Structure 1
Amino acid sequence: MFNIISYIIFLTVSSYITIDVGRRCFQAGKSYLEYLLHDQEMCLTINRILLGCYYLLNLGYIAVNLAFWDRVNSMEEIIAVTVVRIGYIALILCVLHYMNIFTLYILRNKLTLK
């Protein structure tokens, strides 16, 4: 019973975080990509690809996370396990976001050097 409650909490919170952050990065990324690449059509295509890959990676990680869930026997364990797993999701989101920004910055510098 406790596992089902922790699954529901984890799926709800982590899916909301993933979808909300993806939507916000997609909206903010439009202007950032256009500033870097100066091609509106290519920017939109790259932004959509990044969003799709982002959703696939994060929602896949959430699904794999459920497969390796330990048995939860109390309300304290529900909180501890769920918060730690959601924390991992948040860390992954931060790392992915900064990796994308850094990669785009490096690509922009290479394009301007030509």
Structure 2
Amino acid sequence: MDLTVVAYVIYLVAGIGLTVWVARTLSRNGRIFLADVLHGNEKLADAVNHLLVVGFYLVNLGFVALYLSSDARIDDARQVFEALSTKLGVVLLVLGVMHLGNVYVLNKIRRRGVMEKEQQPPVPPQGWAAPVSGA
């Protein structure tokens, strides 16, 4: 069997496995964060969490598929490892960037909600006072 095909199979198994593992980890641990961002609305947090996981799968598995091909010729085991380390390293970097992007956006939404809460007065207005002239 051609070593290039072996490298492709190993790359696909590892790339898909890493994507699934990261997506499940982010989904499980990110649910609490989403519930906080969405002010305790559990159903909405679950729905948003599911949509984020689907988008994560689509983007990352699409990237893994697009990044599969290689023009380099692989003739020995050393070249298999070199090709795999390069490809899987890039996949891991893309997974990390996607994760940081999600956290950044959700943190911005969370901060906006906290700022909106702080802008409301702690006590509702009690009445209206006429301005004093000459003050």
Q: TM-score by structure 1 length?
A: 0.93
CA apart distance, 1:45? 1.1
The runs of 5 or more residues in structure 1 that have no matched partner are none
**1:60-98 deviation line (CA, Å, top 9, x unaligned):** 011101134533222111100111100111111111111
Q: Higher RCO, 1 or 2 (CA under 8 Å, sep at least 6)?
A: 1
The answer on 1:20 being equivalent to 2:21 is yes
Aligned-residue Cα RMSD (Å) equals 1.2
> What is the match of residue 62 of structure 2?
60
Aligned length: 114
**Matched residues, percent identical?**
25
Highest Rg: 1 or 2? 2
Q: 2:84 aligns with which of 82, 85, 89?
A: 82
Give the superposition deviation at 1:99.
1.1
Task: Give the ranges of 4+ consecutive aligned residues of structure 1 lying more than 6 Å apart after TM superposition.
Answer: none
Distance across 2 between alignment mates of 1:104 and 1:64: 28
- Structure 2 runs not aligned, ≥5 long: 117-135
- What SS does the aligned partner of 2:72 have? coil
Q: TM-score, length-normalised on structure 2?
A: 0.79
